[in-house]
């Protein structure tokens, strides 16, 4: 999302973003009675979509790395993925390749010199105005560029993204359903959606590759929620709910994991915990593993208390788990918190009390995508009979 504009407009935008939901940062994970049956997780609070200048241009992003550090500490974040904008197909031009590599080198140097316990992870937002935006992180750009020289990138641009994933990198499609609105505000008229989702027209080969390879999809975007949905549509949950419904159906249709994440999309003085992970360690490797395993919740970590098990078994499985279809055609679920909704295939199927074990009927011979909404938080799926 772009929030550049005049001084007065920027103040209004910053005020609106500053009023965004503040999640409760509380520990959650397997209950005490599960100590012998599964790993222990710690709940990490962070952000998968945060701009920083430089490398971002000062006309668009008003916060540098030092200010980002301060904000992250004030918000008690455990990790932040830094995603400065880079231009589409930068890997096809030698000068652009060098400029992006230099920007990433500076980010790594800033991170290496940083003090404190916030994990800063270098990445970038691949910004294609024709097809959509992609958050890219966790791989070594220099190694990928060496693997995909300019000549190869010109002939087969999709190889950049396949190499990125091969090198251990992650791809997150940002704000996939932020379609243009009729508005006096130019920002609202921009199409920032993911065209493989929102258009029937053919897409470029590298975009098709991202759509096939992406592990994450940004369901909760603070900027979209506060500025587009809340102010212009009168429903701050519009894009959030629509994206989850789309993912529920797409997981079944495509037969693969598709993990929702959250991003502040911050360009200024507001940062929020938007992505919550059940991690085995507070390390960069722990963040990456938790994301790839789908142990993720957005907007509030309470939904990461969701667990499921087959009837008659002792071990509870966390968010992100893949379970075979039980012979009973049911699973038992539980979560901790207020206003709990258990959702299967996009529909609410139970509203249990906190820590109450609820039986959920499954649909035979199909992939069952089961997730929870707990208060303001939404979980990634538990997959039953899927893969």
CA distances from 109 to 21, 56, 104, 194, 376 (A): 32, 16, 9, 32, 36
pLDDT tens column, 226-251: 989 998 999 999 999 999 999 999 99
CA–CA distance, 275 with 45 (Å, rounded to integer): 6
Instruction: Let me know if the fold of 38-299 is the same as that of 305-384.
Output: no
Q: Check whether 149 has a pLDDT greater than 80.
A: yes
Enumerate the domain spans of the chain.
38-299, 305-384
Which residues, other chains included, contact 209 with Cβ-Cβ below 8 Å and sequence gap of 6+? 158, 161, 162
CA–CA distance, 70 with 333 (Å, rounded to integer): 39
Report CA Rg, the chain.
20
pLDDT tens column, 272-306: 999 999 999 999 999 999 999 999 999 999 999 99
Nearest to 331 by CA among 382, 374, 293: 382
Burial (Cβ within 10 Å: 0-12, 13-18, ≥19) of residue 119:
buried
Residue 38 is predicted with a pLDDT of 61
User: In which band, very low, low, confident or very high, does the pLDDT at 351 lie, cut at 50, 70 and 90?
Assistant: very high
CATH class as words, domain 38-299: alpha beta
Average pLDDT over residues 169-193: 91
Question: What is 305-384's CATH topology?
Answer: Immunoglobulin-like (2.60.40)
* Under 8 Å between Cβ of 193 and 128: no
Give this prediction's pTM: 0.93
* Two tokens, residue 21: 């939901």
| Structural element, H or E, at residue 49 | strand 42-50
Q: What sign does the CA torsion over 49, 53, 56, 61 have?
A: positive
Do you find a cis peptide bond into 54, omega within 30 degrees of 0? yes
CA–CA distance, 190 with 193 (Å, rounded to integer): 9
Do you find a cis peptide bond into 11, omega within 30 degrees of 0? no
Residue 243 is predicted with a pLDDT of 98
Q: Check whether 184 has a pLDDT greater than 90.
A: no
Cα torsion 346, 130, 299, 223 to 10°: value is: -130
Nearest to 75 by CA among 222, 237, 269: 269
Q: Per residue in 279-290, is it b (16+ CB within 10 Å) or e — as a string?
A: bbeeebebbbeb
CA–CA distance, 79 with 385 (Å, rounded to integer): 33
Residue 22 is predicted with a pLDDT of 82
Average pLDDT over residues 138-143: 98
């Amino acid at each position: 999302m772009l929030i550049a504009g005049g001084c007065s407009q920027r103040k209004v935008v910053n005020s609106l973003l500053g009023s965004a939901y503040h999640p409760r940062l509380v520990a959650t994970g397997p209950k005490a009675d599960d100590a012998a049956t599964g790993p222990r997780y710690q709940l990490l609070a962070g952000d998968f979509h945060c701009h920083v200048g430089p490398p971002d241009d000062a006309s668009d992003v008003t916060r540098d790395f030092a200010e980002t550090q301060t904000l992250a500490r004030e918000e008690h974040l455990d990790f932040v993925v830094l995603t400065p904008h880079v231009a589409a197909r930068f890997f096809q031009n030698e000068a652009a390749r060098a400029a992006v590599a230099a920007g990433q080198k500076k980010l790594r140097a800033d991170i290496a010199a940083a003090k404190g316990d916030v994990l800063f992870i270098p990445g970038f937002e691949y910004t294609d105005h024709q097809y959509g935006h992609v958050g890219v992180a966790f791989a070594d750009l220099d190694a990928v560029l060496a693997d995909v020289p300019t000549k190869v990138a010109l002939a087969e641009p999709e190889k950049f993204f396949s190499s990125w994933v091969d090198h251990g990198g992650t791809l997150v499609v940002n704000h996939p359903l932020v379609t243009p609105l009729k508005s006096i505000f130019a920002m609202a008229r921009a199409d920032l959606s993911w065209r493989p989702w929102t258009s029937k027209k053919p897409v470029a080969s590298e975009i098709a590759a991202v759509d096939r390879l992406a592990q994450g999809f940004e369901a909760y975007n603070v900027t979209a929620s506060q500025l587009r949905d809340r102010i212009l549509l009168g429903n701050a949950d519009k894009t959030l709910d629509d994206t989850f419904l789309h993912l529920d159906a797409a997981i079944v249709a495509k037969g693969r994991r598709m993990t929702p994440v959250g991003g502040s999309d911050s360009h200024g003085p507001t940062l929020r915990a938007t992505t919550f992970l059940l991690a085995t360690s507070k390390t960069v490797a722990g963040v990456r593993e938790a994301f790839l395993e789908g142990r993720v919740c957005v907007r509030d970590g309470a939904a990461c208390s969701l667990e499921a098990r087959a009837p008659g078994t002792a071990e509870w499985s966390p968010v992100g788990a893949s379970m075979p279809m039980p012979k009973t055609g049911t699973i038992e679920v539980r979560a901790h918190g207020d206003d709990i909704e258990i959702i299967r295939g996009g529909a609410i199927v139970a509203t249990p009390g906190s820590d109450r074990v609820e039986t959920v009927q499954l649909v035979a011979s199909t992939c069952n995508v089961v997730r929870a909404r707990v208060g303001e938080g939404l979980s990634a799926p538990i997959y039953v009979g899927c893969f």
